Structure 1
Amino acid sequence: MQIHNLSDTPSILNTFMSELRDKTVQKDSMRFRRNIERIGEIMGYELSKSLQFNPHTIATPLGSSETVLHQKDIVLCSILRAGVPLHNGLLNYFDAAENAFISAYRQHKHNPESFEIVVEYLACPSLEGKTLILADPMLATGQSMVATYEALKPFGTPKEIHLVSVIGAQEGVDYVSKAFGADVKLWIAAIDDNLNEKGYIIPGLGDAGDLAFGNKLQH
Structure 2
Amino acid sequence: MKTHYIGENNSILNNFISEIRDVKIQKDSLRFRRNIERIGEILSYELSKSLSYSGVYLETPLGKKKIQLPYNDIVLCSILRAGLPLHQGMLNYFDKAENAFISAYRHHPNKGEDFEIVVEYFASPEIENKTLLLADPMLATGQSLVAVYEAIKKHGTPKELHIVAVIASKEGVEFIEKHFPENTHLWIAAIDDKLNSKGYIVPGLGDAGDLAFGEKL
Further displaced range: 63-72 or 86-95: 63-72
Distance 1:167 1:136 in 2: 9
Alignment of 1:1-219 (within 5 A): 1-217=1-217
Q: What is the total number of aligned residue pairs between the two structures? A: 217
Runs of 4 or more off by more than 4 Å in structure 1? none
User: What are structure 1's unaligned runs of at least 5 residues?
Assistant: none
Distance 2:19 2:124 in 1: 33
User: What are structure 2's unaligned runs of at least 5 residues?
Assistant: none
Contact map agreement 2:161 2:185 (CA 8 A) in 1:
yes
| Percentage identity across paired residues of the two chains | 66
Compute the TM-score of the two structures, normalised by the length of structure 2: 0.98
Three-state SS of the structure 2 residue aligned to 1:120 is coil
Shift of 1:63: 1.5
Contact map agreement 2:52 2:72 (CA 8 A) in 1:
no
Distance 2:116 2:142 in 1: 12
What do residues 150-190 of structure 1 show as CA deviations (whole Å, max 9, x unaligned)? 11112211111000000001110000011112210000001
Contact map agreement 1:72 1:97 (CA 8 A) in 2:
no
Three-state SS of the structure 2 residue aligned to 1:176 is helix
What do residues 74-127 of structure 1 show as CA deviations (whole Å, max 9, x unaligned)? 000000000000000000000000000000000011042010000011101111
Three-state SS of the structure 2 residue aligned to 1:23 is coil
Further displaced range: 19-28 or 152-161: 152-161
Distance 2:7 2:94 in 1: 22
Three-state SS of the structure 2 residue aligned to 1:204 is coil
Shift of 1:72: 4.2
Shift of 1:199: 0.6
Contact map agreement 1:41 1:90 (CA 8 A) in 2:
yes
